[in-house]
């Protein structure tokens, strides 16, 4: 189980509501530095909680296949 901090939770909430979004869009909407957002995005991506489209560089919530 991954321990989520406040930034991780804010990113997940934002992506759930407004996603998919780029790193800079997320940083702007959360009024945070891109470097801080990137660290959380990397953790969420490595734990397969979010996915990234290599063409658009947009992050989105990882959906379970039904």
Q: Return averaged pLDDT per consecutive 10 residues of the chain, 66 residues in all.
A: 92 95 97 97 95 95 63
How confident is the model at residue 1, as a pLDDT?
75
Q: Residue 57 and residue 48: Cα distance in Å, rounded?
A: 16
pLDDT for the residue numbered 54: 94
pLDDT value, residue 66: 42
pTM attached to this predicted model: 0.89
Domains recognised in the chain with CATH numbers: 6-51 (1.10.10)
């Amino acid at each position: 189980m991954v321990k989520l901090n406040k930034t991780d939770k804010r990113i997940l909430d934002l992506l759930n509501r407004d996603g998919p979004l780029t790193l800079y869009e997320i940083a702007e909407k959360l009024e945070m530095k891109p470097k801080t957002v990137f660290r959380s995005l990397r953790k969420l991506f490595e734990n397969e909680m979010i996915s990234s489209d290599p063409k658009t560089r947009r992050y989105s919530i990882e959906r379970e296949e039904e």
